[in-house]
Amino acid sequence: MTLSDPDQCVSSPPRRPFKARGSFVTRCEGCRLPLLNCLCPYRVKTESKARFWLLTHPLEHNKPTNTGRLIGDILDTTEVFTWYRTAPDIALLDHLDDPRFAPFLVFPDDQPDYAERVVDIDSVKQAKREGRIPVFIILDGTWRQARRIFRKSPYLARLPVLPLHTERLTRYHLRKPASASHLCTAEVAAELLRQSGDTVAAEVLDDYFEVFNDSYAESRRHSKLERPTAAMQRLLERQR
Ligand SMILES: [Zn+2]
């Protein structure tokens, strides 16, 4: 055997380290998206009369594809609580007792056992007229996780349940929904803002979500968006 056997060289190519999907991507510290299509330039601050409190399942928190965090990016009044079955967040309990707020638990009205708690969007508008701050509580997780949070949180049991009725279909393409009518968290929030009269905030969130969606999908293809999309241009315009 010689040390420079050409056949041996051909049969032993240099080993490449195994790379799990996404693990080698350099992410932006600000938006956690791959640097290639960073979201930060499009982060626009806006205001709304209604607020959001997200009750987030612990498994959902660190997923970069989570869209609940987009709400807080554009609306500073947003608060995020982590849901633990046995230990409710004290700050959330305090908020629920605060008479300044009119909290609504956003959840489908498809089960008969809480039918008497179900209200519609007019109740949100009524709360505004009474000078209270309407708050949309969104259970942020998969549908299974959200149902679990709903069932296993006694402190939510006295809240009015607000189902979101909309013809809108999801545009989210980072995770595959069970049905096109299952909106992701940011889409639900945008629709609630629109229906309750916070039109500008709804438009900003919709555009910001769309930019997130497109930027993320593009990065998965390892390419950079060549030119700003229409939603990007609208957000940049608002920053002027
Ligand atoms: Zn960024």
How much is the pLDDT for 176? 74
Residue 132: CB atoms within 10 A of its CB come to 16
Beta strand residue intervals within the chain, DSSP E:
51-56, 79-82, 101-106, 133-140, 161-162
Q: For residue 208, give the 3-state DSSP assignment.
A: helix
- Give the Cα separation of 92 and 53 in Å (integer): 9
Residue 215 CA, ligand 1 centroid: distance in Å: 11
By DSSP bridging, strand 79-82 and strand 101-106 are unpaired
**For residue 124, what are the CA distances in angstroms to 36, 50, 115?**
40, 9, 18
Residue 30 CA, ligand 1 centroid: distance in Å: 5
How much is the pLDDT for 8? 35
How much is the pLDDT for 110? 87
Q: Which residues of the chain have pLDDT under 70?
A: 1-24, 178
How much is the pLDDT for 23? 59
- The residues near 59 (Cβ < 8 Å, ≥ 6 apart) are 141, 145
Residue 65 CA, ligand 1 centroid: distance in Å: 14
**Six-digit token pair at 196?**
């309750």
- Give the Cα separation of 137 and 71 in Å (integer): 12
**Sign of the alpha-carbon torsion through 169, 170, 173, 176:** negative
Whole-model pTM: value is 0.87
161-162: strand order across its sheet? 79-82, 51-56, 133-140, 101-106, 161-162
Residue 92 CA, ligand 1 centroid: distance in Å: 29
Residue 151 CA, ligand 1 centroid: distance in Å: 36
Residue 35 CA, ligand 1 centroid: distance in Å: 7
- The residues near 186 (Cβ < 8 Å, ≥ 6 apart) are 67, 68, 70, 71, 205, 208, 209, 212
